[in-house]
Amino acid sequence: MSEPDKVPVYISKSTYERVREFISRVGGFSTVEEFVEFVLREVLSGGMEGSEISREDEEKVKERLRALGYI
Amino acid sequence: MRLLVLGIDSAEYEILKRIENELPNLSQLTCKLERYYTTVPPITVPAWLTLFSGLNPGWFGLYDVKYRVPGTYTEFRLYNRNLVSSYRFLWDLVSESGRGVILCFVPGSTPPPHINGVVVGDFFVPDVSSLDFVYPVGARRLIAEALGAEEYIIDVPGYKRMDPRKLFSLLLRKIDLDMKIFLKLLRHVEWSLAICVLMSIDRAQHTLWKYFDKAHPRFVEDPELEAGLTQLYKRVDYWFSKLLEVVPRDTAFVLMSDHGAKPMYLRVNINEVLIREGFLKLRERPTKPLTLQDADKRGLIDWDRTTAWGWGAYVGQIWINLKGREPRGTVSREEYEDICRQVGQLLEKITSPDGTRLDNKVFYKWEIYRGTRTRYMPDITVYFHNLHYGVNTMIGLDDLYSVETEVGADDCNHGEYGIFVTSLDDLPRPRTAEEVFQVLKTIVES
């Protein structure tokens, strides 16, 4: 039964097989669908390089953690 | 099934088992206490992220509360939850099924996820006026009612500036404030999953262990503080009894930590070691000790001739100056593994100052990390002397060992085992942080 908040997106069989092999080898995800959703979210979010917060807020926390010896 | 998770950051199995007779409420759980092998490294970030997602740290590209900015050698930025917003955590699974969630002070949850429930921020929140402190904004009323006239403590200030007894009483008070907030939310918010992580014990261990432990090499006698760690646990035990009074009888409980704790004796000056062995090259030796970052800003490091350099505080984290990855890489892909092993073998042989062999453990990236962001992870991770030695990354030190960094001494290091126990029977015993998540998932899906 299809879920009301999802839409079908088709990928090639060869890509599907590659993803299936990848997740069975690396772990972390239990279905191809789960992994594909993650990859798309990752690309849209910018991953490590697109995830910044305000420098001012960051400096406040850095100062506190620095004083505690964590950084 | 409803699940309440009480997390105690840095709770150590050996300590809890030793004092459990003094914890009448928690001992209902600690009598079945187990330990699991936590993430490499055993650090708050990435450990709590792995515990609540089941994902190896290589998926996050995170190995500490800070991360090296890609394309630089020594610039770093602080963790924020936007870095992991693509991943699904335990609270996302519960929230997306329409059930309520309460998250209190869960490390790694800032900025707050917009879940079906309430989130009160962790120690990455800059201050209580920040919008990131409470989600949704309307829940601030509940927090204010819980605290009354008291001012909330996001984190304790640096211990060098504070009298240890005053610091201790702040840590006790923080437990009270945290639990008042948690209890208020449990009473007034619809929930199916509630997680509260207390940081006071971790902070106390790092800053005050030498007062608690006569065997610590820097032991300081203070009758008011010597039973301090037990007192902190007893305060948690008291509040646990209050949790038992307010939650429905069919609530499943989990008590867990992200890693353990053990006394830190000394630090290895890792970059001094690498300099002496020719892996890290300087244009000019500093006239006084500098942080790695300051040395880099002053142009003292010769990156064009450097093969490896070190990061870390609790563990050694080594980077290889790899061509194609680093701005001025010197090591080819073909040479990479061989260079890693040379550096790893060097660090594995580090002895104590008097030449005694140490129980050092070396982990290579390809052995321990999996995921799509492994390229950001350190190439080599080292646990020195079974984590009884930490690491100092400063340059310009006269020795290969030190007690203090530029901010002072740390009394304790993290341990490689976290604790885990559930009130439910017939669940598999988790052996790793990833397996802890599978147990938690089983409970919330039952």
Q: CA nearest B406 in A: which residue?
A: A69
Residues B431 and B386 in one domain: no
Q: How confident is the model at residue A1 (pLDDT cuts 50, 70, 90)?
A: very low
| Residue matched to tokens 């305060």 | B235
| Residues of chain B positioned with their CB less than 8 A from the CB of A64 | 123, 154-155, 157-158
Q: Cα(B172)–Cα(B188) distance, rounded to whole angstroms?
A: 25
Q: How far is B203 from chain A (nearest CA, A)?
A: 8
Q: Cα(B57)–Cα(B437) distance, rounded to whole angstroms?
A: 13
B289-310 confidence digits (pLDDT tens): 999 999 999 999 999 999 999 9
3-state secondary structure of B279: coil
Q: Are B419 and B233 in contact (CB under 8 A)?
A: no
Q: Which of B84, B372, B391 to mutate to test the interface with A (most CBs of A within 10 A)?
A: B372
Is the Cβ pair A67, B80 closer than 8 Å? Answer: no
Q: Is residue B439 situated within a structural domain? A: yes
Q: Are B143 and B120 in contact (CB under 8 A)?
A: yes
User: Residue B293's domain spans which residues?
Assistant: 266-409
The CATH number linked to B225 is 3.40.720.10
Phi and psi of B88, rounded to 5°? Answer: -105, 125
Q: Which of A29, A57, A58 to mutate to test the interface with B (most CBs of B within 10 A)?
A: A57
Q: Is B291 on the interface with A (CB under 8 A)?
A: no
Q: Is residue B121 situated within a structural domain? A: yes
Helices (H) and strands (E) in chain B, counts: 14, 21
| Residues of chain B positioned with their CB less than 8 A from the CB of A71 | 64-66, 76, 78, 313
Q: Is B200 on the interface with A (CB under 8 A)?
A: no
Q: Is residue B71 situated within a structural domain? A: no
Residues B285 and B336 in one domain: yes
Residues B179 and B284 in one domain: no
Number of domains in chain B: 2
B317-337 confidence digits (pLDDT tens): 999 999 999 999 999 999 999
Phi and psi of B62, rounded to 5°? Answer: -125, 140
**Across the interface, which of A26, A58, A70 has its CB nearest the CB of B371?**
A26
Q: Is residue B82 situated within a structural domain? A: no
In the A/B pair of chains, how many CB contacts fall below 8 A? 101
B225-244 confidence digits (pLDDT tens): 999 999 999 999 999 999 99
Residues B152 and B295 in one domain: no
Question: Would the pLDDT of A2 be above 80?
Answer: no
Q: Is residue B81 situated within a structural domain? A: no
Q: Which helix (H) or strand (E) holds B317?
A: strand B316-320
Print pLDDT tens along chain B (446 aa): 899 999 999 999 999 999 999 999 999 999 999 999 999 999 999 999 999 999 999 999 999 999 999 999 999 999 999 999 999 999 999 999 999 999 999 999 999 999 999 999 999 999 999 999 999 999 999 999 999 999 999 998 776 678 999 999 999 999 999 999 999 999 999 999 999 999 999 999 999 999 999 999 999 999 999 999 999 999 999 999 999 999 999 999 999 999 999 999 999 999 999 999 999 999 999 999 999 999 999 999 999 999 999 999 999 999 999 999 999 999 999 999 999 999 999 999 999 999 999 999 999 999 999 999 999 999 999 999 999 999 999 999 989 999 988 777 788 999 999 999 999 998 999 999 999 999 999 999 99
Q: Cα(B7)–Cα(B253) distance, rounded to whole angstroms?
A: 11
Length of chain B: 446
Q: Are B29 and B45 in contact (CB under 8 A)?
A: no
| Residue matched to tokens 């140490």 | B358
Longest dimension (CA), chain B: 67
Q: Is B372 on the interface with A (CB under 8 A)?
A: yes
Is the Cβ pair B65, A71 closer than 8 Å? Answer: yes
Q: Is residue B59 situated within a structural domain? A: no
Q: Are B271 and B436 in contact (CB under 8 A)?
A: no
DSSP letter, residue B152: P
Residues B234 and B288 in one domain: no
Residues B359 and B278 in one domain: yes
Q: What is the pLDDT of residue A7?
A: 92
Q: Is residue B166 situated within a structural domain? A: yes
Distances (CA, A) of B277 to A23, B147, B274: 40, 55, 5
Is the Cβ pair A51, B66 closer than 8 Å? Answer: no
Q: How far is B42 from chain A (nearest CA, A)?
A: 13
Q: Is residue B286 situated within a structural domain? A: yes
What is the ipTM metric for this complex?
A: 0.83
Q: What is the pLDDT of residue B192?
A: 98
